Amino acid sequence: MTDRLDVAPLAFGPDGTPVSAAYGDVYHSTAGGPAQARHVFLGGNGLPARWRGRARFGIVETGFGLGLNFLATWQAWRDDVEACDVLDYVAFEKHPFRAEDLGLAQAAWPEFADLAADLRAAWPALTPGEHPLRLAGGRLRLVLVFGDVRTMAPGVTAAADAFYLDGFSPAKNPDMWSPEVCAELSRLGAPGATLATWSVAGSVRRAVQSAGFAVEKRPGFAGKRQMLVGALA
């Protein structure tokens, strides 16, 4: 494992949406990031209902990016009086941002301002490996896994009740959606684990099905006609 990471530079498209120069793709829908996170990833995994009344709930995300899905999840969990006692969140990210660049991008989501500030205050050094963070008085346990998911996932231990699959387009970043990666994610799944993603590409459907997920299409967010959800068979 190398001792350095390729840090993501902060860049924006003409409409102000954050973009990745490395992958030629956007970090979230141009129709609105927080709304997309709630529709696709929380809604697609049956949240917040599924974590209610539980001692613990686990989430694994591929593609932490700017932390949008994490912040939307944290807000929903914080505001839910019936939420689980402990929320475990593991997120893979090959190209993390510097804390100061996170601040510039996250300013576009004022509804998350207090949570985003707490996240940036705890932001770890940009070195490969697992970085455990304790937030919300220790009840929110975030593990940031910096590095290529293909090499990092086999060393990770988790019991995920929900998966957020949010890499860049499989046409532009196929490695993150490979059958091998999906098999590793399946290994991290708890009984009854679900997944959600905005992508309905055939390669994605086949990869998650080969990993043991039964999948179906649902209405997508904004102008995207469909999204994909699944559950471990």
The CATH number of residue 220's host domain is: 3.40.50.150
**Does residue 219 sit within a domain?**
yes
pLDDT-flagged residues of the chain (< 70): 1-3, 31
C-alpha–C-alpha distance, residues 94 and 128, integer Å: 9
Question: Which residues span the domain enclosing 160?
Answer: 11-232
**Does residue 20 sit within a domain?**
yes
**Does residue 216 sit within a domain?**
yes
220's tokens: 């997508």
Give the CA count within 13 Å in the CB-facing half-sphere of 39.
19
**Does residue 3 sit within a domain?**
no
Tally of structural domains, the chain: 1
**Following CA atoms 65, 86, 140, 137 in sequence, which dihedral angle do they give, to the nearest 10 degrees?**
170
pLDDT of residue 28: 87
**Does residue 102 sit within a domain?**
yes
Global pTM value: 0.95
**Does residue 211 sit within a domain?**
yes
Q: Quote the crossing angle between the two packed helices 202-210 and 179-187, to the nearest 10°.
A: 40
pLDDT in tens, 125-177: 999 999 999 999 999 999 999 999 999 999 999 999 999 999 888 999 999 99
pLDDT of residue 203: 96
Q: Read off the amino acid at residue 22.
A: A
**Does residue 4 sit within a domain?**
no
**Does residue 223 sit within a domain?**
yes
